[in-house]
Copies of this chain bind each other. A is one copy, B any other.
Amino acid sequence: MGIDLKSVFSQIDADYDNLKSILKEAVAIQSVSGDPSRRDDTIRMVHWMKERLERVGATCKLADLGSQKLEGKTIPLPPVILGALGSDKKKKTLLVYGHLDVQPASKSDGWDTEPFELVEKDGKMYGRGSSDDKGPVLCWLHAIQAAQKNNIELPVNIKFCFEAMEESGSVGLEELLIREKDGFLADVDFVCISDSYWLGTKKPCLTYGLRGICSFFVEVTGIKQDLHSGVFGGVVHEPLQDLMWIMSQLTTVDNRINIPGINDQVAPLGKDEEKTYDDIEFDVAEFRDSVGASKLPTEDKKTLLLRRWREPSLAFHGIEGAFYGPGEKTVIPSKVIGKFSIRIVPNMEPEHVNKITIDYLNDLWKKRGSPNTFNPRPGHSAKPWVADVNDPNFLAGARAMKYVHGVEPDRIREGCSIPITLTFQELTGKSVLLLPLGAADDMAHSQNEKNNKWNYLEGVKTLLSYIIELGNA
């Protein structure tokens, strides 16, 4: 860090009540993108944020995404904020992504407090969106304000891409970004997203990898309608019996994948890479307890993290077309569709995974020898993503975190996909840093979502430090 931010950090701490009141305002706007009756609030949230960005000097455009059909009604999509603060050609440009919409929440779901009213208890600010993702978005705002108050010139231009449909599939966003490839996105040098979480609750981290996914549908038919199991039981080949058998052949009891060749494209683990796992702060017992399992397929820290982040996995989600209600129904389902997905890691290619999986399913079907009709097909897929932890963007993030927290952040991956990450990387050709500010126990998407006071203040400081460090990148 070229400059001393200690006094600025003290100011940020002292300004906490003000920062909290602004977050409280944001939380109070019920921008639930999945609820059509809340669409006006969701749009209002976008305007609220635009105004705040303009107050710090940003120029904002609202990109119209048209409308969508939801629950039978056509309703407008919330616009996307495309903002810019600074346009100095001599400076590099940072693009910040965040989202202003939230998951649904109501007290009756099991919240201890009103979800849309920010309430502080024991150093924790409870409220929907406090951590996912209104809190982190506001941390950017406050970091910029802190610099301005202290006459610190920002060493980079900052662009903002804030949407309000993230919790509902980011409808329309990718198309917008593709259209803006040579426009809004043309001069971007770095991208940063604060919409993920620390691995634990104490040690900061940078996220440099995400798994991709290949989804599959396995359809078995053979009788023309659902049949009475009393009248027809024993004299038909039941599609569901075939499906259960096929599904049962895909994994071992320890959740390893049986598909031949599934590991062929997995990038070998480098020696240096392997070493990074040694220092990662991760408590297996705590993880096991949080999941509620009595035993995990592996309880070795390194093996477990590798399996979560760096190895493919296969999960069964369910079956469409069979009886799913409570109680009993003596039916023989006529058409069943098994659903499973495979998480993929670098350098696995979705096309390859789809091919070997469908081939294996067809081989199993031949082995099964059922006269029913078998139709396995791939669903949606997303590529895995991995970044270079030694590129200038990541190094700036790491320096900022160390400056604020006093410790080197862990370099982690996530087992899930954040598709927008790859979209930004591919459209800008630049480095995307996932810089999580929230703790693992923030309960995003769940009851009693919160953001720790401590994390929130450190978040503002981290983003300010990161912006300044980018001047040295």
Per assembly, the copies of the chain total 2
Q: Is the CB of B235 within 8 A of A307?
A: yes
B255–A238 CB distance below 8 A = yes
Given contacts A233-B341, A294-B371, A319-B324, 14 further A-B contacts (CB under 8 A): A222-B293, A231-B416, A233-B315, A235-B296, A236-B297, A238-B315, A241-B248, A241-B253, A294-B372, A315-B330, A317-B328, A317-B330, A328-B339, A328-B341
Which of A233, A242, A247, A343: most chain B CB closer than 10 A?
A: A233
In-complex Cβ contact of A233 among B237, B291, B304, B415 (8 A): B415
Top 6 nearest A-B pairs (CB, nearest first) are A230-B416, A224-B292, A234-B313, A318-B323, A318-B322, A233-B313
Residues of chain B lying within 8 A (CB to CB) of residue A245 = 248, 253
Inter-subunit contact A237/B222 (CB<8 Å): no
What residue in chain B is nearest A325 (Cβ atoms)? B320
A244 in the interface (beta carbon within 8 A)? yes
Set of chain B residues within 8 Å of A332, measured between Cβ atoms: 315-317
CA gap between A303 and B231 in the complex, in Å: 15
Complex alpha-carbon distance, A467 and B159, angstroms: 93
B residues less than 8 Å from A242 (CB atoms):
253
Q: Which residue of the partner chain, among B231, B328, B373, contacts A379 with CB atoms under 8 Å?
A: B328
Question: How far apart are the CA atoms of A223 and B290 in the complex, in Å?
Answer: 9
Q: Is the CB of A236 within 8 A of B296?
A: yes
**Does chain B have a CB within 8 A of A177?**
no
Q: Kindly supply a per-residue 1/0 record for chain A positions 232-261, scoring 1 wherever the CB is within 8 Å of any chain B CB and 0 otherwise.
A: 111111101110110110010111000000
- The answer to whether the Cβ of A83 comes within 8 Å of any Cβ in the partner chain is no
A selection of 14 A-B contacts at a CB cut-off of 8 Å is A215-B330, A227-B291, A233-B415, A234-B312, A235-B308, A236-B297, A237-B255, A238-B316, A245-B253, A247-B248, A316-B332, A318-B329, A322-B324, A324-B324
Contact partner of A234 among B241, B244, B415, CB < 8 A?
A: B415
Inter-chain CA distance A240–B298, complex, in Å, is: 19
B370 and A233 form a contact (CB under 8 A)? no
Task: Name which residue of chain B comes closest to A307, CB basis.
Answer: B234
Least CB distance from A36 to B in Å reads 19
Within 8 A of B (CB), among A316-368: 316-320, 322-326, 328-334, 339, 341, 343, 368
Instruction: Give the chain B neighbours of A248 by CB distance below 8 A.
Output: 241, 244-245, 247-248
In the complex, what residues of B have CB within 8 A of residue A211's CB? 230
Say whether A295 faces chain B, with CB atoms less than 8 Å apart. Answer: yes
Contacts A244-B247, A292-B225: A369 and B253 contacting too (C-beta < 8 A)? yes
Q: Are A291 and B224 in contact (CB under 8 A)?
A: yes
A395 → chain B, closest Cβ, in Å?
Answer: 27
Is A417 part of the binding interface, using a Cβ–Cβ cutoff of 8 Å? Answer: yes
Asked if A90 lies at the interface with its beta carbon under 8 angstroms from chain B, I say no
Kindly state the separation between the CA atoms of A292 and B222 in the bound complex, as whole angstroms: 7
Closest Cβ neighbor of A417 among chain B residues: B230
Give CA–CA (A320, B245) in the complex, Å.
Answer: 18
> A: which residues have CB within 8 A of B?
211, 213, 215, 222-225, 227-238, 240-242, 244-245, 247-248, 251, 253-255, 291-298, 304, 307-308, 311-320, 322-326, 328-334, 339, 341, 343, 368-373, 379-380, 414-417
Q: Which of A211, A229, A251, A326: most chain B CB closer than 10 A?
A: A229
Q: What is the minimal beta-carbon distance from A258 to any residue of chain B, in angstroms?
A: 11
A238 CA / B255 CA spacing, docked (Å)? 7
A200 to chain B, nearest CB (A): 14
Closest to A331 in B: B317
A190 to chain B, nearest CB (A): 26
Q: Across the interface, do B228 and A416 meet the contact criterion of CB distance under 8 Å?
A: yes
Once the chains bind, are A241 and B329 in contact (CB under 8 Å)?
no
A348 and B296 CA atoms in complex are apart in Å by 41
List chain B residues, Cβ under 8 A from A317: 229, 240, 322-323, 328-333
Pair A291/B232 contact, Cβ less than 8 Å: yes
Most chain B beta-carbon neighbours within 10 Å: one of A240, A241, A313: A241
A213: which of B213, B224, B251, B330 is its contact (CB, 8 Å)?
A: B330
Residue of B nearest to A226 (CB): B317
Q: Name the B residues within 8 Å of A297 (CB-CB).
A: 234-237
Q: How far is the CB of A106 from chain B (nearest CB, A)?
A: 18
Q: Which residue of B lies closest to A296 (CB)?
A: B235
Chain B residue nearest in CB terms to A227:
B291
The distance from the CB of A177 to the nearest CB of chain B, in whole angstroms, is 22
| Cβ-defined contact, B231 with A414, below 8 A | yes
A320 to B323, CA, bound (A): 8
